[in-house]
Amino acid sequence: MGESITDGTLAKFLKNPGDGVEVDEPIAQIETDKVTVDVASPEAGVIQKFVAKEGDTVEPGTKIAVISKPEGGVAHVAPSENISGKAASQPSHPTEKTEEDKQTPKVEITPMTDKPKEYSLSPPKRSAIEPQLPPKERERRVPMTRIRKRVATRLKDSQNTYAMLTTFNEVDMTNLMKLRSDYKDTFVDKHGVKLGLMSGFVKAAVSGLQNQPIINAVIDGDDIIYRDYIDISIAVGTPKGLVVPVVRNADKMNFAQIEKEINTLAKRANDGSLSIDEMAGGSFTISNGGVYGSLLSTPIINPPQSAILGMHSIVSRPMVVGGNVVPRPMMYIALTYDHRLIDGREAVFFLCRIKDVVEDPRRLLLDI
């Protein structure tokens, strides 16, 4: 499962005892901190029994199932599991009662002659402010998935480590939306992918990072590491939790290449087929809460990066343009950054660069 994976949780079996399997056919799924991986059968045959249970914590190289070969031999399936505790069932031995067990001690009971004193205990009065808690039978306790536990740990570590500060701005989306509307059909015909807004923000972020390299840097002990590459992480919400696949070398990609890469990564994220390598690294993150309707938020930095850009929903608002009040499609954008490394000046300049490029994409062509 990769050198960085030490254990996982046996999420579910894809087959049942008695089912036939082919070589390399998935029979189970293992959930790790980052991805869900399939366990492939090393032999063709019939599943005889499972020796691990769903929910067990397992390590690479140990047995989870037994498969009988067509010739009658037995193949042990050793995917990526080490069952916590003993997975193989042991025969139970009936316990034999000893003579001491059979002898029941006798207890002499004498009737009570004295009548106990009667105490008049009034029921305790409830405090007027005592909360009325719901009964326990109306609650459900469900174990957290590995991915959810990993996300929770990383976000809390980020909050405890970084001196996070968020600055905001607003962007008039008129020109970028018009650009997409004017060329959407031609773009699809030539490149085979739709022109979205995300590629425009990725290109704007690349321009901002090139203008403010400190945003792309990170603290390591007493040193500052400046990254001479731009790998943009794209936050994707999936049913199993938040994953952050990486668009590599975004500074060398055009709009079409960015759109294709984002679509591929998003599809793999929702299918649960992302690899560890596709989520490793990244020097800057973009999170688009606008797809869920978020108007404004303060995103949390994705370690070991130093900043994250938050996009939000587009809302038509009255704006003053040329002395006249006109409706404009506006978006709030937020930059959360590590104030230990990045000063407010650089953060504001970076966010203003995002605003300038998105509001006038021609700046990318003229490099101004």
Please identify every residue annotated as catalytic. Answer: 339, 343
Q: Are 14 and 37 in contact (CB under 8 A)?
A: no
Report how far residue 215's alpha carbon sits from residue 213's, in angstroms, rounded to the nearest whole number. Answer: 5
Q: Which residues contact 327 (CB under 8 A, 6 or more apart)?
A: 316, 317, 318, 319
